[in-house]
Amino acid sequence: MFPLQDTIPHRESPFVTWALIGLNVGVFLLELALPEPALEALIRTFGVVPARYTEPGWMENPANYWPLLTNMFLHGGWMHIIGNMWTLWIFGDNVEDRLGHGRYLVFYLLCGLAASGTHILLHPDSTIPAIGASGAISGVMGAYFLLFPHSRIIAVFPVFFIPYFLELPAVVYLGAWFLTQLFSGTFSILAPGTGGGIAWWAHIGGFLAGALLVRPMHRRRRRVYRPYFADEEIPIRYLYPR
């Protein structure tokens, strides 16, 4: 299933989500302009190579830290970046509404770091660079799963090349998505070489990180004082100061 839109409009302009999309697209256009040898060197230098982080003394080399962040802004092709940026566009604005711009940026980067860490933990001997924003975006999806469970997601489901359009509760769509990642990730470990080049466990780690971080990072809403009716019990917090 591929999400087309959700049913909750954003209340504030999602500047950080727009900036993240713009930065990812800008870096991808730079990738397209590079000759193939330079592109391969870029990906190997700034992508996450798990084996690099399981070698003794890796922490002593400052160059090993940057890929944990920079890998989030590299993509391997048009479908890769379009799928990631479209998903960020759908789910990111509402999560940014709830967290606030600054907290949301920190949240996004932390989810990306957690995704990279999970991938390294589950594939410690891999020498293949892992790139893409999907780990961080999975964190955004994990936050959306908890914050907006009753939102509706309009998705397309192709059957024999015929598109079928479905409207599902967010908790169902995102729950099914997570279970798919979990099943695929488990299968990729039990049967190595069947992962299809997808970092399933980065998605799982990012999603769980987002679900765990969103509550502590949630910004407090301003309390709204309202008139009360005569037959209500009146909590002290709703009384107007005199």
Is the separation of the CB atoms in 105 and 72 below 8 Å? no
User: Would you say residue 188 has pLDDT above 90?
Assistant: no
Using CA atoms, how far apart are residues 64 and 136, in angstroms rounded to an integer?
19
Mean pLDDT of the chain: 87
Percent of the chain at pLDDT exceeding 70: 88
Say what the pLDDT of residue 220 is.
Answer: 66
User: Would you say residue 168 has pLDDT above 60?
Assistant: yes
Q: Which two tokens stand for residue 100?
A: 């606030």
Using CA atoms, how far apart are residues 63 and 83, in angstroms rounded to an integer?
29
Q: How does pLDDT run across 1-35, given as a tens digit for each residue?
A: 788 999 998 888 999 999 999 999 999 999 999 99
Domain coverage including residue 37: 2-238
Which pTM value belongs to this model? 0.87
CATH classification of the domain holding 43: 1.20.1540.10
If one counts the domains in the chain, the total is: 1
The DSSP line for 4-59 is EEES---SS--HHHHHHHHHHHHHHHHHHHS-HHHHHHHHHHHSB-GGGGSSTTGG
The DSSP line for 184-222 is HHHHHHHSTT-STT--HHHHHHHHHHHHHHHHHHPPPPP
Say what the pLDDT of residue 61 is.
Answer: 85
Q: Which two tokens stand for residue 219?
A: 């910004």
Is the separation of the CB atoms in 136 and 112 below 8 Å? yes
Categorize the per-residue pLDDT at 232 as very low, low, confident or very high, splitting at 50, 70 and 90: very low
The DSSP line for 47-115 is SB-GGGGSSTTGGG-GGGTTHHHHGGG--SSHHHHHHHHHHHHHHHHHHHHHH-HHHHHHHHHHHHHHH
Q: Which two tokens stand for residue 157?
A: 């489901």
